[in-house]
Amino acid sequence: MANPVILSIDDDPAVSRAVARDLRRRYGDRYRVVRAASGADGLTALREIKLRGEQVAVLLADYRMPEMNGIEFLEAAMDLFPAARRVLLTAYADTDAAIDAINLVDLDHYLLKPWHPPEEKLYPVVDTLLQAWAASPDATATEIRVVGHRWSAPSFTVRDFLARNLVPFRWLLADDPEGVRLLAAAGATEADLPLVVTGEGKALVAPTEAELAGLAGLTVVPAADFYDLVVVGGGPAGLGAAVYGASEGLRTVLVERRATGGQAGQSSRIENYLGFPDGVSGAQLTDRARRQALKFGAELLSTREVVGLAEAGAARLLRFGDGTEIAAHTVVLATGVSYRVLDAPGLAEFTGQGVFYGSTATEAPSCAAQDVYIVGGANSAGQAAVHFARYAARVHLLIRGADLTASMSRYLIDQLDRIDNIVVHPHTVVAGGSGSGHLEQLTLCDTRSGETRTVDASWLFIFIGAEPRTEWLDGVLVRDRRGFVVTGPDLVTDGRRPAGWALSRDPYHLETSLPGVFAAGDVRAESVKRVASAVGEGAMAVSLVHRYLEAQ
Ligand SMILES: Cc1cc2nc3c(=O)[nH]c(=O)nc-3n(C[C@H](O)[C@H](O)[C@H](O)COP(=O)(O)OP(=O)(O)OC[C@H]3O[C@@H](n4cnc5c(N)ncnc54)[C@H](O)[C@@H]3O)c2cc1C
């Protein structure tokens, strides 16, 4: 395999030579340093590198270049190599543009020119970026190929899992010539699909998520059996708790049943999270949060579902689905919520075969030039409509109410209004679905007249509210009637503390009815369902963990 590339691009030949010389001096033995004289040349070089199947680790682009400036170049380069780390070279006068680029192209760093001496100004930055890149799935896994059927739920599950864990892969249909070749080479048949083949040539037939996690270099087994803090759930609240816990010296492990990022990880664009004026995709936010948690020493376990919580003296025991356990002084529950299932005849059998819950980034390109149906009137449905409208012929947003004003943010309603191929259908619900092998028709019902009509539809994305899946906490913690975990002052009624509470103090603000166990984010009763509040509660839970530990 060829060495990964560091690409530098500057229209000034003297500067371009100097950057490349400094980079080669330090990294030339492990990386191939490529230079280009314009944005267009840089993109041509990147396309060739892509076709050769090579990797790009870092992109350094000068800001001021004629025709295509450095930010425009980095934006285009992201489409080819999304995991490459991005640096903008700027003059002091351009720092405002560089700061804007932090949001626009998810810039990792901006370097002020001149960068001499490189030992002080250039190498520390590039070292850190190369370390981050080297730890990413892009660097560890050479290209993973997934061979499957378009309308197969297990094939969809594999692709969705890899995409949510930010593992790059190539999707091949079983009748694609390369798909046929790979099946033959692996000695598999179409009945065995999906087939996953690693860059090293290892083939896995219909792998489990734990096998996929191992293949992608994700951690699945805890390094210890006792921690200061176990965080359950890897959404914004859990990642927030892991970052604060680990950075404040607690031995912290985060346990996630599927992929870090939670609901937020599925968002195509979060527009209202503080500090990202141009919005940030859930995948980018998750990638940054993961790296931050790992940097501080938190352990992140994937594909491990927690199914039991118990008290054992001062310790709290957490049981995994396979019966193994870990223990800790304290626990933060950040298990969020999951989509409610749409209960209309005929839909259940097509889940993953045309019927999808939540936004599935992997599916959007497959919807090209077709009609897409989305159910739901909240922000998550609106974001999905905007996202799918880039690919689909038309996006039909089905809502029960008369309009979106009561359920969606104004900025999103305005965005939908501006997009010609989005049609909002008020007073409309899905009454059923049918098809052969995958969804082919939907029956829609007008809630005012009761009239039904059948439309051809292969794609249905459902966003109809969510509920906490906390049955495993039954009898262990106080939950409200919908299953949300009750915390803090809400546990005290008429001055009475919850049953079994043995301490002489009231529960702390985010503490559950079991001392030392806290809840943060969407799973908490009366919580605000937002990314910012989930992150904030994760951080706050850690400060209460410290208070709890000090009093022990
Ligand atoms: C498509 C979409 C778009 C959104 N857009 C916005 C937006 O623009 N702005 C905004 O502020 N909010 C937005 N939201 C809401 C926001 O994403 C949520 O409020 C936020 O993600 C809640 O974070 P959380 O960590 O509490 O829970 P979640 O994000 O739900 O994460 C919980 C995690 O816990 C894991 N888990 C659950 N049970 C277990 C278990 N037993 N063992 C191990 N792991 C478990 C789950 O797999 C999941 O990864 C959006 C939501 C969606 C779905």
pLDDT at 418 over 90: yes
Instruction: Please check the confidence at residue 151 and state whether its pLDDT lies above 90.
Output: no
Length of the chain: 552
Q: Is the pLDDT of residue 139 over 70?
A: no
Residue 73: which H helix or E strand, with range? helix 70-80
Residue range 216-233, pLDDT digits in tens? 778 999 999 999 999 999
Task: Note the pLDDT of residue 361.
Answer: 65
pLDDT digits (tens, 9 = 90+) for 241-290: 999 999 999 999 999 999 899 999 888 788 889 988 777 888 878 988 99
Name the pLDDT band for 360 (thresholds 50, 70, 90).
low
Q: Looking at residues 522-527, what average pLDDT do you find?
A: 96
Amino acid at 516: G
Q: Is residue 272 in contact with ligand 1, taking CB distance under 6 Å?
A: yes
Residue 142's pLDDT is what? 59
> Mean pLDDT, to the nearest integer, of 116-124?
87
Whole-number Å distance, alpha carbon 318 to ligand 1 midpoint, is: 21
pLDDT the model gives residue 223? 96
pLDDT the model gives residue 9: 95
Distance between Cα 336 and ligand 1 center (Å): 5
**453 Cα: distance to centroid of ligand 1 (angstroms):** 34
Residue nearest to atom 30 of ligand 1 (CA): 336
Determine the pLDDT at residue 431.
97
Q: Comparing 486 with 178, which gets the higher pLDDT?
A: 486
**Quick one: pLDDT at residue 456?**
97
Higher pLDDT pick, 154 / 143: 154
Nearest Cα residue to atom 4 of ligand 1: 380
Lowest mean pLDDT among 14-18, 121-125, 362-366: 362-366
Cβ of 236 below 6 Å from ligand 1? yes
CB distance 537 to ligand 1 below 6 Å? no
How many CB atoms within 10 Å of residue 75?
Answer: 17
CA 264 to centroid of ligand 1, rounded, Å: 5
**What pLDDT, on a 0 to 100 scale, did the predictor assign at position 1?**
61
Predicted confidence (pLDDT) at residue 359 exceeds the cutoff of 70: no
Query: What confidence tens digit (pLDDT) does each residue in 293-336 have?
Result: 998 999 999 999 999 999 999 999 999 999 999 999 999 999 99
Instruction: Return the ∠ at Cα 243 (arms to 514 and 272), rounded to 5°.
Output: 100
Report the predicted TM-score, pTM, of the whole model to 2 decimal places. 0.78
- Which of 232, 243, 267 for a ligand 1 pocket mutation test, highest count of atoms within 8 Å of Cβ? 267
The alpha carbon of 429 and the centre of ligand 1 are apart by a number of angstroms equal to: 25
- Cβ–ligand 1 distance for 527 under 6 Å, the answer no
Cα separation, 193 vs 259, in Å, equals 22
Instruction: Using the mean position of ligand 1's atoms as its centre, give its distance from the Cα of residue 520 in Å.
Output: 11
The pLDDT of residue 108 is 86
Sequence letter at residue 205: V
Find out whether the beta carbon of 237 lies less than 6 Å from any atom of ligand 1: yes
Query: Element (H or E) spanning 120, and its range?
Result: helix 118-121
Does ligand 1 come within 6 angstroms of the Cβ of 397?
no
Burial of 369 (C-beta count, 10 Å sphere; 0-12/13-18/19+): exposed
Which residue did the predictor score with more confidence, 42 or 390?
Answer: 42
Ramachandran angles phi, psi of 290, nearest 5°: -60, -50
> What is the structure's pLDDT at 485?
98
Whether 37 has a pLDDT exceeding 70, the answer reads: yes
132 lines ligand 1 (CB under 6 A): no
Q: Ligand 1 centroid vs 262 CA: distance in angstroms?
A: 4
Contacts of 51 (CB under 8 A, 6+ apart): none
Distance 235 CA to ligand 1 centre (A): 5
Query: What is the structure's pLDDT at 49?
Result: 84
Ligand 1 in contact with 281 (CB < 6 A)?
A: no
pLDDT at residue 309, as a whole number: 98
Q: Is the minimum distance from the CB of 530 to ligand 1 under 6 angstroms? A: yes
Tell me if 522 CB under 6 Å of ligand 1.
yes
Look up residue 127 and give its two tokens: 């070292």
C-alpha of residue 539 to centroid of ligand 1, in Å = 16
Q: Report the separation in Å between the CA atom of 534 and the middle of ligand 1, taken as the mean of its atom positions.
A: 8
529 lines ligand 1 (CB under 6 A): yes
Assess whether the C-beta atom of 234 lies below 6 angstroms from ligand 1. yes
| DSSP strand pairing (315-320 vs 203-205) | unpaired
Model pLDDT for residues 441-486, shown as the tens digit of each residue: 999 999 999 999 999 999 999 999 889 999 999 999 999 999 999 9
166 CA distance to ligand 1 centroid (A)?
16
